[in-house]
Amino acid sequence: MAKTLELDARSVVVASKDQVSSELASEAVILDLKGGTYHGLNATGARIWTLLATPKSVGEIRDIILREYDVEPQRCERDLLCLLELLAAKGLVEVRAAAA
């Protein structure tokens, strides 16, 4: 198994092609096509998931969430990195190194 790149604000993330997802009420449901498992995201996670449809840096996603939600910047970045690391570990997102 390939080592996952370490995530930071400059890392670029995008939803994997090996999944399908759907919005359900204000949440998201994701099916991992390789593993055959379902994953659910709450409303905030679902918003982040929609942002992952196109490649974006972690910093870009963080800035969008900070504009849209009442959350402290440090907590936002910490929680965002935690979610993205979890999604990457499950193969649901691809992590790319920051552009030079």
Does the residue 1 lie in any domain? no
**The predicted structure's pLDDT at residue 68:** 97
- Domain count for the chain, please give it: 1
Cα separation values, 53 from 3, 14, 15, 72, 75, Å:
23, 6, 6, 25, 23
What is the tens place of the pLDDT at every residue in 40-76? 999 999 999 999 999 999 999 999 999 999 999 999 9
Average of per-residue pLDDT values in the chain = 90
* Chain centroid to CA 45: 8
What is the tens place of the pLDDT at every residue in 27-36? 999 999 888 8
**The predicted structure's pLDDT at residue 41:** 95
Instruction: Tell me which residue range forms the domain holding 28.
Output: 12-94
Residue whose entry in the numeric block shows the structure tokens 């949440």:
27
Does the residue 4 lie in any domain? no
Does the residue 66 lie in any domain? yes
Hey, what are 3's tokens?
Answer: 């080592």
> What CATH number has the domain bearing residue 26?
3.90.930.60
Does the residue 73 lie in any domain? yes
**The predicted structure's pLDDT at residue 57:** 96
> DSSP secondary structure string, 27-49?
EEEEEETTTTEEEEE-HHHHHHH
